[in-house]
């Protein structure tokens, strides 16, 4: 075996300790198993960033859209006030 020293976040440390205790195994064994699970994933499931690029393009296109106004005669604040009045009964 090869010794590695890594840095993890506090929340990851807490999770690692919880799972190690729950499964009755060492934290190192859990890390080794996690690495093996990632190695077994098909390459198509690994993030390559293309989905985020597509999503960003979609969002940018929709941000440029003009939305027709319906001529509403109420404001958000009026709706909140109305709901507060109804809930106080």
Contacts of 30 (CB under 8 A, 6+ apart): 16, 19, 20, 23
**Whole-prediction pTM:** 0.48
Kindly state whether residue 89 falls inside one of the protein's structural domains: no
Per-residue tens of pLDDT for the chain, all 89 residues? 999 999 999 999 999 999 999 999 999 999 999 999 888 877 766 677 777 888 899 999 999 988 887 888 888 899 899 888 888 76
**Distance, first Cα to last Cα, the chain:** 69
Kindly state whether residue 36 falls inside one of the protein's structural domains: yes
- Is there a contact between 87 and 79 (Cβ–Cβ < 8 Å)? no
- Domain with 11, as residue range(s), is 1-41
Kindly state whether residue 4 falls inside one of the protein's structural domains: yes
Which three-class secondary structure string do you get for 17-42?
A: HHHHHHHCCCHHHHHHHHHHHHHCCC
Kindly state whether residue 18 falls inside one of the protein's structural domains: yes
Kindly state whether residue 59 falls inside one of the protein's structural domains: no
pLDDT tens string 50-61: 778 888 999 999
How many domains, in total, are found in the chain? 1
Kindly state whether residue 25 falls inside one of the protein's structural domains: yes
d(CA 28, CA 67): 54
Residue pointed to by tokens 């404001």: 75
1, 8, 31, 35 from 25: Cα distances, Å:
17, 19, 11, 16
């Amino acid at each position: 075996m090869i010794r590695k020293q890594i840095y993890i976040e506090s929340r990851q440390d807490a999770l690692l300790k919880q799972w190690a205790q729950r499964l009755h195994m060492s934290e190192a064994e859990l890390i080794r198993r996690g690495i093996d699970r990632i190695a077994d994933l098909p390459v198509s499931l690994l993030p390559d960033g293309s989905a985020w690029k597509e999503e960003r393009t979609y969002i940018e296109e929709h941000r440029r859209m003009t939305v027709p106004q319906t001529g509403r005669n109420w404001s958000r604040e009026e709706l909140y006030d109305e709901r507060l009045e109804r809930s106080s009964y």
